[in-house]
Chains A and B, each alone.
Chain A
Amino acid sequence: MDNAQLLNEIRETNLTYLLLAQRMIKDDKAAALFRLGITKEAAELIEALSPAQLLKIAAGNMLLCRFRFDNRILGDMLTGYVKDKIMASSHAAVLMAGQGAEPIAA
């Protein structure tokens, strides 16, 4: 994959993510905070973005959505539950819900 195409795809992913996040926050803020795993301040910031600002933020060379699993959660989802997939996902969900929200770096 050449570089231009990569940047293009990053921008598209960013844009899709931001638009989805914005829609979720406008629909149901509390649920969106849980689903996105971000703080209220971050959500308010995203909610207030205008389309032009959204485009500007999306057009960088970095992905804006971050990986939410740490090693432990990932490990729990992948290993140990060969028999019972429901248990694996429940365990992961308990751990994820117990995690804090991603704050905006000051």
Chain B
Amino acid sequence: MAGKSLVSEARQTQLAIDLIQHGARLQLLEAETTLSRERLPKLYKEVRGVSPPKGMLPFSTDWFISWQPNIHASLYIDIHRYLLTHAEIRGIEATLKAFKLYLEHCQSNHAEPVLSLTRAWSLVRFFDARLLQTTPCTRCGGHFVVHSLELYSNYVCGLCRVPSRAGKTKKAAEQARAVGLQRAA
């Protein structure tokens, strides 16, 4: 790299640390920072105390369409888009900032974040590659994540028309039982 400066390297390292702390995987770090492949795993281990996970990233767009991930993904991409249009920030900065705002939303509502930073990043990339897009819900007007190149003239979002089994996972049932037991005791 021509004109390699210590200042820019320090900035890149700081960015990488921030990303790692928010759960970024190596593929994301390799794509978004200029640090070398040898240094990133070392940095990762130093920040998190464990070796980075191996293997490929999930590459299917379908995950973002299923009910609960879709709500979270839609919220995230709406925040991201807001930042792009109004705050005029770009790239990984926008991705990370939108992710922090999304985490804040989850924390303030005591909801478990479904999206990880790596997922959020791939979501943005899917949007850039035009594999996914948003479409307005005909009932509430909110913008939701959908596959590109399909017809959505009568689209109703997963929050206006909640599927009957939505949110009824094993985990939710166990939590409900635990609360019930607590009350009984």
Contacts and interface: CB of A to CB of B under 8 A. Distances in A.
Interface of A: 28-31, 33-35, 39-40, 72, 76, 84-87, 89-91, 93-95, 97-98, 101
B97 A94 contact: no
Interface of B: 71-72, 74-75, 78-79, 81-83, 86-89, 93-94, 97, 100-101, 105, 109-111, 140-144, 159, 162, 167
A contact face: mostly helix, strand, loop, or mixed: helix
Contacts, number: 75
B36 to A, nearest CB: 29
Main secondary structure of the interface of B (DSSP, over half): helix
Contacts of B159: 87, 90-91, 94
B86 A40 contact: yes
B142 A94 contact: yes
B74 A94 contact: yes
B143 A98 contact: yes
A46 B142 CA distance: 29
B87 A97 contact: no
Contacts of A84: 167
B141 A33 contact: no
A89 B109 contact: yes
B113 to A, nearest CB: 12
Contact of B86 (A33, A85, A89, A91): A33
